[in-house]
Amino acid sequence: MDPRKLSDHFSVAPQIEPEDVAKLAEMGFRTLITNRPDEEIEDEDHRSANMAKLAAKAGMNYHYLPYYPGEMTFDLVADYEAIMKSAPKPAFGYCRSGTRSSHLWGMSQAGRMELDKIVETAANAGYDHSSLMPVLKFYATRRGKNG
């Protein structure tokens, strides 16, 4: 397991193992978010239904929010933001490499945090968000216009 902190409330990682769920709870994480679609996962033990059971057993809140490669949408970001608004913190998200989970965090920060700071924070966690800059700018503008 390779946790990478993006904020005081959210960390990400590449695919975790089922036994990592209890470890995350022991580390103080209160919410687990799976962003990897079940269709990508061959091993049943790594699919969302099992991870949800393990999270419940560990006393963690659980959310399955599949993010399909190349399919970033405003609805997906809104769903992530709704989870983060109501979920007990800190939260932990994962996907195959952690990139999609970090992208959702970055998009949720557009318009709230300086865009260069989003890219820098992601880079410090090992994720290159520089290619997201156009969509971050667009989303920040959209957020500004829509409150």
> Under 8 Å CB-to-CB from 39, ≥6 apart: which residues?
none
Smallest CA-to-CA distance from 100 within 14, 32, 3 is with 14
pLDDT digits (tens, 9 = 90+) for 13-66: 999 999 999 999 999 999 999 999 999 999 999 999 999 999 999 999 999 999
Cite the DSSP H helix spans in the chain.
20-26, 48-57, 74-86, 99-109, 115-124, 133-146
Which of the four pLDDT bands, split at 50, 70 and 90, describes residue 144? confident
Q: Are 129 and 137 in contact (CB under 8 A)?
A: no
Mean pLDDT value across residues 72-90: 96
Give buried/exposed letters for 22-33 (b at 16+ CB in 10 A, else e). Answer: eebbeeebbbbb
